[in-house]
Amino acid sequence: MKVTVTRSEKEFDIAAGLKIVSQIMKKRDSVIGLSTGNTTGGMHGVVAEIYKNYSFDTSQVTLFGVDEIAKVPEGFKKTCSAELLEEIVGPIGMPLSNFIMPRPQCDDYDAECKNFIDELNARGGIDLQMLGIGIDGHLGMNLPGTDFDSSTRLTPLSGELEDRIRRKNNYPAPAPLAGITLGIKDIMNIRHIILVAKGESKAQIIEKAVNGKVTPDVPASILQLHPNCEVLLDSKAAEYLYPEN
């Protein structure tokens, strides 16, 4: 795994945003996966700012999110789809028909998951995935303990991820909450992955994911076995990666 460490959060956002723009410039019909959360909002803003100033062609690009909140009521505001629409899809002027996401509410989640991955495969498969990591090592909504052979599916939520989603949306238990996520098997089939993290809260899990044992207890550790995965960090997230001798 190639690891790049930037000196600041601002440099991280610029470097990550340029990765997305570079992929679009290289392949105009790229299929690019995104993540939501504190790590990725800044990079999406960089992409939007570049588009505002230089207006590159996004008419053939497909964007999607690695996961989506599910089993929530109509009108639930902070879905992953809504965040991505606000942060990057709308600002770069791409057709909404090229924004592929599963529906948060539906009658048949098995069919919804199948349609989601089938649509991405029909567009030629995923060229690039900007992939965040949770402080417990989760990828997408693949929580610790997830089988490495897991496919795209509806999954229950728990732990830090569930707490964060409920807190962010003022959506207390026992209101129903689940997630739709690309499975780890599907993630490992992506052509190019960039694992992104910033901030001191991610430092310990980054060290485990990059240097530790490959184990389902740390889902992100499987990326050590991916043939084309790089890691992009700010200096705070890299704090424990290169300990002083």
Q: Is residue 222 part of a domain?
A: no
In the DSSP assignment, the letter for residue 228 is T
**Helix count and strand count (H, E) for the chain:** 7, 10
Is 82 part of any domain? yes
pLDDT digits (tens, 9 = 90+) for 16-34: 999 999 999 999 999 999 9
pLDDT band at 2 (very low <50, low <70, confident <90, very high): very high
Q: What is the pTM (predicted TM-score) of this model?
A: 0.95
Phi, psi of 12 (to 5 degrees): -60, -50
- Whether 127 is in a domain gets the answer yes
Domain contains 163: yes
| Residue 149 predicted with pLDDT over 80 | yes
What is the number of structural domains in the chain? 1
Check residue 195 and give its pLDDT: 98
Does residue 54 belong to any structural domain of this protein?
yes
Residue 129 lies in a domain: yes
3-class SS of residue 31: strand
> Is pLDDT above 50 for 245?
no
Q: Specify if 176 maps to a domain.
A: yes
Ranking 66-70, 133-137, 169-173, 174-178 by mean pLDDT, the lowest is 169-173
Instruction: Evaluate if residue 50 carries a pLDDT over 90.
Output: yes
Question: Residue 116: is its pLDDT beyond 50?
Answer: yes
Q: Is residue 112 part of a domain?
A: yes
CA separation for the pair 46, 33 (Å, rounded):
16
pLDDT score, position 78: 86
Residue 46, domain extent: 15-188
What is the CATH number for 160? 3.40.50.1360
